[in-house]
A and B are shown apart, each in its own frame.
Chain A
Amino acid sequence: MIEMRAIGKSFRTDLVQTNALRELNLKINAGEFVSITGPSGSGKTTFLNVTGLLEEFDSGTYILDGSDVSKLSDDKRSDIRNQKIGFIFQSFNLIPDLNVADNVDVPLRYRRMNAAERNRRVAAALERVGLASRSKHLPAQLSGGQQQRVAIARALAGDPRVILADEPTGNLDTTMSLQVMELLEAINAAGTTIVMVTHNPELAVRAHRNVHIIDGRLSENAVPASSSGDSNGFESTTLDQKVIPIREHADARL
C-alpha cells in the first residue's frame, strides 16, 4: 500500500537547515495497522505529512497504492488525498460552524458527488461511528470523544484506502481513547490500512507493527522506554540540524 524509498525532507531557514527525514525507507502492506512512535521532534509529523501528500519531499520515491506519487502536480495530489487517504488529527479539526453531517460531507463535496450519494455516505459513516442521532449538532455541542468520532466518520465517508491518524487520542481521556482505538481497530479489521502516530506506548503496541522514528530515520519494532525520557515514555531527541555557512547561505538565496 505504502512504499517509501530513501525519502529525504529538510526544512531550511535563512540560517539553519533541519533534516526532518533522512533516507527513510518504509513499506506498509494493504490492511496493516502500523503505529509510528518516536520522541518529540523526531520527524513523525513530517513523515505523516509526506505520507498524506500534504507536503512535498526533497528526494526519494514514494509509491502509494501501486502508483508513484513522487512528482505529481498539486491537483493530482489533491485528488489522491481526497480519494485514497483519510485523515484523523489530534485536535479533531472539525469546522466549528458546520454541523456534524456537513463536516463529514466536506471531502465528498470535493469529489463532486451528487447530493443523494453524499447523503447516503454521510449517514452510513455516522452510523458506523455511532453518531447518526447527532448529525445536526455543531462540534461545540459534542464531547471530545464524539468530536473525534465525527472526524473518523469524515475520514471513512470517502471510503479511503488508507487512514493516517496523527495522535488520534492525544486530546482524549483514557476511556474515550480506548473507544476511539477500538473504532480504529474495527475499521482496520474491515480492510482499511491505518497508519497512526502516537506517543502512547499502550496504544502503539496494539498495532500490527510499530515503527520508531529517531532523527528522521526508521527503527522498526523498537521497544518503547518505560520510565525514562519524556512523559510519554519515549526519550527526547532533536533532529539533525546544521548551521549553514555564510557562503552556502548566500548561495541558497540565489
Chain B
Amino acid sequence: MLAYNIRLAGLSFRRNPALTAMMMGAIATGIAAAIITITLYHARSGNPIWWKADKLYAVTMDTRSDDKNERDFSPNPEYPPFQLTHRDAEFLSRSDIPLRKARMFKSSFIVTPTKAGMKPFRRVSRVTSADFFPMFDVPFKFGAAWTRVQDEGPEAVVVLSQDINEKLFNGENSVGKSVTLDGKDFRVIGVLDYWMPQPKFYDLNNSAFDISEGFYIPFGWTVPLEIRSNGNMNCVGKGVKISSFHDLLTADCVWQQFWAEFADQTQRARFQQFVDSYVADQKKLGRFPRPLNNRIVDVDTWMEMNNVVGDDSRMQVALALMFLVVCILNTLGLTLAKFLGAASITGLRRALGAKRKDIVQQHLTEVVLLSFAGGVLGLILAFFGLKGVRALLYTPFVDMNVQQSAEVGRLLTHIDITMVLAALAISIVTGVLAGLYPSWRIGRSPPAAFLKT
C-alpha cells in the first residue's frame, strides 16, 4: 500500500500545485530558519576536541584580592580569573602529576621574510610548552614539535602554521629553514597541517572564534626575550605599576593560560589537591585572600564559563524553533483545508472499502512526503542563508585577513552530515505533526458525510 499511497500523494500534489507549494514553502522556511540557527549554535557550542572531553582541563586559581569593589576578571563574579600569574603558572608547571601540561600566552612577532619582494609583517603567535601539541592533538604536515628539553633550553626552534608555511615557503617542506621573528632567527622544526579549532577553546580571552596562530615558539623564550602577552592581562589591586618585564613576572598580574591532560579522574583529583595546597601555602604569605576557589574544568565547562554560547544564541534557537512550530501550525491548517477540499474522494474511498487507517495512512504519507520535500528545500535555503550570514557577520574578524576570516566563517556556517540528517528527520517529524490531526480528522469522517450521491 505504501507505493500506492506515494502515487496518490503525487497525484494530489499535481491536483493542487499552488496549495502544495505553499505548504512546502511553509515547512521549508521553518526548517531553514531552524537549521541556520542550530548550525550556528552547534558550531559555537561544539567541543572541538570532544574526544578528550574527560582528559583535558583548564586550570584556574582565584588570585583576586579581598577588595569586593575590585573589578571582576571574568563574566561571573563566582569564577576565578581565567588566567594565571607567571609565578603561579611556573609553579604548576613543575608538577609531574598531569600526563601533560602546557602554559601559554598569545603574542605577536614581526616576521622578516627572506622571500624576495615580501615585506615584513606582524603575525599573532603562541608562546607555549612542548606538551601543547600532543595534548591538543595538533596535526603536523612536516617535522614535529619541540621536546621538553628543547623548551627548557631554550632552543631557537619554531613551528609554523600551514598558512604561514604557504606564505613564506610556498607550502614546501620548510623544516630546517630559518625564520626571523622580532629580529631573532628561529629554525623551523615543524609545520602544522590544517588546524583551526572553533571555538579556539585553549584561549578564549580575545575571541572564541579566532584564527589559529602563525608561529609557535617554546615557552622557555618568554624570559630571555622578554616576550609580552598580546592578549588580556589583569592585575590584582589598584594602581599596580609594571615598569619592567621583571615586574610583570613577579606581580599578581594574570596573563598566562594553563592546561593539563590527565590520564584519569584520580590524577585530576590529585592535581586539584596539589593546587589547593599551593594556594594554602601562598595564603600564609598574604596572597589569595579569598576562600579556596581553584577550578580545574573540562573543555565544555570552560566554554560555558567563558560564555562562548551566550544567552542570545540560545534565544535565537528558541525563537527559530518557535517559528518552526508556527510553520507547522500553518501547514496543519493548510493540510486540513486541502484534505477537506478533497473529502468527496475520501468519502468515495471509504464507500469502496477503505478503512479509517487506510485513509489516515494515505494522507499521512502525503504530508510526510511533502514535508520531506520541504526539508530538502529548507536545507537548500539554509545553505544559501548561511552563506548570507557568513558574508554579513564574519568578514572580517579582528587581526584576520579576508581569506582567514572567510575560513572561520566557513567553519562556523558549515552544514555537516549530522545537520543534514537532523533537517530531514525534523522535516519528517514536522510532517507527522502537521498531518496527524488532519489525517485523523478526515479518516474519522463517516463515509456518507462527504460522498456525492
Contact = CB atoms under 8 A, between A and B. Distances in A.
Contact of B345 (A74, A87, A95, A109): A95
Contacts of A95: 345, 348
B153 interface: no
Contacts, number: 72
A82 interface: yes
A10 to B, nearest CB: 15
Interface stretch (A25-33, A47-55, A226-234): A47-55
Interface in B379-401: none
Contacts of B14: 97
A110 B354 CA distance: 6
B353 A111 contact: yes
Interface string B345-357: 1001111111111
Contacts of A177: none
A154 B348 CA distance: 12
Contacts of A52: 351
B353 A110 contact: yes
A219 interface: no
Interface in A36-95: 45, 48-49, 52, 54-56, 74-75, 78-79, 81-83, 87, 89-91, 93, 95
Interface string A208-222: 000000000000000
A48 B453 CA distance: 10
B345 A154 contact: no
Interface string B333-362: 000000000001100111111111110000
A109 B453 contact: no
B379 to A, nearest CB: 30
B453 A89 contact: yes
Given A54-B451, A97-B11, A97-B14, A106 B349 contact: yes
Nearest to A89: B453
A41 to B, nearest CB: 14
Contact of A110 (B11, B345, B358, B453): B358
Interface residues of B, number: 24
With a 10 A CB-CB cut-off, give which of B355, B446, B453 has the most chain A CB atoms. Answer: B453
Contacts of A167: 453
B15 interface: yes
B353 A93 contact: no
A52 B11 CA distance: 28
Given A54-B447, A95-B348, A97-B11, A78 B353 contact: yes
Contacts of B1: 109, 112
Interface string B425-453: 00000000000000000000011100111
B121 interface: no
Given A55-B446, A98-B11, A93 B354 contact: no
B4 interface: yes
A107 interface: yes
A90 B453 contact: yes
Contacts of A79: 353, 355
B356 A93 contact: no
A54 to B, nearest CB: 4
B352 A91 contact: no
A75 B352 contact: no
A95 B354 CA distance: 14
Given A97-B11, A110-B358, A78 B350 contact: yes
Contacts of B353: 78-79, 81-83, 107, 110-111, 158
Contacts of B11: 97-98
B448 A55 contact: yes
B446 A110 contact: no
A7 B352 CA distance: 23
Contacts of A109: 1, 4
Interface in A184-215: none
With a 10 A CB-CB cut-off, give which of B357, B358, B451 has the most chain A CB atoms. Answer: B451
Given A52-B351, A154-B352, 7 more contacts: A49-B448, A87-B352, A89-B452, A89-B453, A95-B348, A97-B14, A109-B1
14 contacts: A49-B453, A54-B446, A55-B446, A55-B447, A55-B448, A74-B355, A75-B357, A78-B356, A81-B351, A81-B353, A91-B452, A97-B14, A110-B358, A112-B1
